[in-house]
Amino acid sequence: MGHGNAVTYIDFEQAPRAPANTMLSAEQLERIRQFDTCTIANAIEQFGVRLRNEGFTRPGLRCVTGDGSRLLGYAATCKVRSSDPPVTGGNYLDRTDWWAAIDRLPLPRVAVIQDMDPEPGTGSSVGEVHAAILKALRCAGAITNGAVRDVPEVGRLEFPLFAPFVAVSHSYMHLVDFGQPVEILGLAVRSGDLIYADCHGAISIPREIAAEIPDVAARIRAKEQRIVQICLSSDFSTERLLNAIRSDQR
């Protein structure tokens, strides 16, 4: 590793990469869940596969059904509107064609819903009934840039909802598209992307490096904890701290 302000990456370029459509095993997914999104973000940086200011949500997204929730799965994307009635068709629940698209995705699944209104949040994108339907379709939770409702009831369903807003009504909520790329608070998401969310927000994990992420995250966590323990120790000194930082940069 380098020193100062130089940007450096661990050299993974010589290692063979998994195909971008690789499915992770349940064990591999559980290993990712052991780390928070911050550590996962640090691990992704080491591969140099994207810019450091890409691939995660900007401030505002929170889990409204429980601060400790972690949500990991493959994105089932859709776009909705609620400020005006649909031009054709009925409400949100009439679009059963989206259900078939969800069913074709690997497990676990995460519903990723972009509210396309100029001011997202006019109506709720997910409430108790829709959460129950999505859970039956084997989604582990939902992420939206809009609003959700029925928070206590959905919490009892153990279906995490990540959103910046809550709302009283679903207003004219209706589906306008599904299976296409969406954007959630700055995070671009394609159908099938591996998405991870916790109390800090949501991040996409490139599938070609996903299997390698836990090992890299574990090494980063160990380095960070060595520095933290020095700072908390009774015999702290700036010399010990500097030596620890320098040793981790080699």
Tokens of 214: 């836990």
CATH of 51-205, one of 3.50.30.40, 3.40.50.970, 2.60.120.260, 3.30.1370.100: 3.50.30.40
| Per-residue pLDDT tens digits for 62-99 | 999 987 899 999 999 999 999 887 766 556 666 788 89
CA 84: distance to chain centroid? 29
pLDDT at position 190? 97
Q: What is the pLDDT at residue 236?
A: 87
Q: Give me the mean pLDDT over the 38-63 stretch.
A: 96
Residue 111 CA to chain centroid, in angstroms? 11
Taking alpha carbons only, the member of 173, 172, 201 closest to residue 189 is 201
Of residues 213 and 238, more confidence is placed in: 213
Residue 199 CB coordination number (10 Å): 16
Classified as helix, coil or strand, 40 is helix
Percent of the chain with pLDDT over 90: 73
For tokens 């069913």, name the residue: 103
Token pair, residue 156, equals: 């009892």
pTM of the prediction?
Answer: 0.88
Q: What is the mean pLDDT of residues 185-210?
A: 97
Q: What pairs with residue 63 in β-bridges?
A: 162
| 3 state DSSP class of 26 | helix
Domain with CATH 3.50.30.40 in the chain: 51-205
